[in-house]
Amino acid sequence: MTTLAATASRWPALDGVPPYSVRAQAARLLFLRAVRRLPLCVALPDAVIGEGGPLLCVHRPEAFFARLGSDGLIGFGESYMAGEWDAEDLPGVLAAFAGSLDTLAPRAASLLRPWVLPRRGPDERGTRERARVNVSSHYDLSNDLFALFLDETMTYSSALFPTRDGFMERGDLVAAQHRKIDRLLDRAGVGPGTRLLEIGTGWGELAIRAARRGADVTTITLSAEQRALALRRAAAAGVGERVAVELCDYRDAEGSYDAVVSVEMIEAVGDRHWGEYCAALDRLLAPGGTVALQAITMAHHRMRATRGTRTWVHKYIFPGGLIPSVKALEQALRGTSLRIGEDFGFGDHYAETLRHWREKFTALEAEVAALGFDAVFRRMWEFYLAYSEAGFRSGYLDVRQLVLTRR
């Protein structure tokens, strides 16, 4: 377990509340104005604002609005971490905001975004050195923590549930994760004798499933914790001789592969390095090969509006990352021989996947605490899982499987 768990009771951002200033008063006015236009209710100690929809209960309004005025959406998340507000349906509350983010603030406030919102710093750039630190800060938290709320496949990406008449059906998460993996492997043409490169190992389920097809798998990661568990899982599955797990940056990978697969890895690369990532795919793919990617995406105009802004997710969950748009990926591919040949979106399936994770995480609060993670950490992760679920539920985010072939 990393030092985060051991020092989880020390949260500098929550040590004190910003003073109730003019900015806090402005934040209160803007927030309550926005709530009246949303399918949402906000309960303050002396009033209820809005009609219908999920309920957001503000327990300490002065602290809540002071954080909003001082740090905007980062303050909104920190206020939840500090227990200053609650919601019985947290994803529902966050989805109400996410579904209206493009129009929530007055136009004048939107125009001021580049000057008033916190900017991302040089420490979040996806250099080799920084990438290792950023990956470790999340994925090396504790294998035991992830094992608590993920399913037995230890797959930390969107599942693919059954559909009927074009609509998603709820189902078993393990089967849905295997359905997602198998679709990617099928699209990449992975079978007996395939030389497969996986960029971003996770905890090894895709590599194991590919090896069971008879593929020879090289999978790379920057997480020492993930590598150790992936190796143990491959050996336990009886495919250890077909799976090589390497601690390696994608820029340093070598070889020539019949297929390259990468699941929800490009979001961590950072926009400055998307071109390098696509160039690596092109360099590593053998003639006649296929690349299959799974990537979280957002609309291009939203990506452009937020690409330089530091968010709550950057500060507490995924430093250094940026969710791309499909258009941005197409632009990053222009310097390569690769083009998007198939594009399949299934964002509602990610909302359902996250619901599984969030409900299991909150149900196992005592077990999370027993691992050394304090109440602030638990509220932080509950907010992160609900925040992500809301993004997909509202359509603000999507997840796509993209098949890349050479021109």
Summarised one tens digit per residue, pLDDT across range 208-254 is: 999 999 999 999 999 999 999 999 999 999 999 999 999 999 999 99
In this model, does residue 372 exceed pLDDT 90? yes
Predicted confidence band of residue 14 (pLDDT cuts 50, 70, 90): confident
**Model-level pTM greater than 0.75?**
yes
Summarize pLDDT for 210-221 with one digit per residue, the tens.
999 999 999 999
What pLDDT sits at residue 356? 98
What HEC string does the chain produce?
CCHHHHCCCCCHHHCCCCCCCHHHHHHHHHHHHHHCCCCCEEEECCEEECCCCCEEEECCHHHHHHHHHHHHHHHHHHHHHCCCEEECCHHHHHHHHHCCHHHHCCHHHHHCHHHHCCECCHHHCCCHHHHHHHHHHHHCCCHHHHHHHCCCCCCCCCCCCCEECCEECCCCHHHHHHHHHHHHHHHHCCCCCCEEEEECCCCCHHHHHHHHCCCEEEEEECCHHHHHHHHHHHHHCCCHHHEEEEECCHHHCCCCEEEEEEECCHHHCCHHHHHHHHHHHHHHEEEEEEEEEEEEEECHHHHHHHCCECCHHHHHCCCCCCCCCHHHHHHHHHHCCEEEEEEEECHHHHHHHHHHHHHHHHHCHHHHHHCCCCHHHHHHHHHHHHHHHHHHHHCCEEEEEEEEEEC
pLDDT over 50 (residue 115): no
Q: What is the pLDDT of residue 209?
A: 98
Q: Which domains does the chain have, with CATH numbers?
A: 3-116 (no CATH), 122-406 (3.40.50.150)
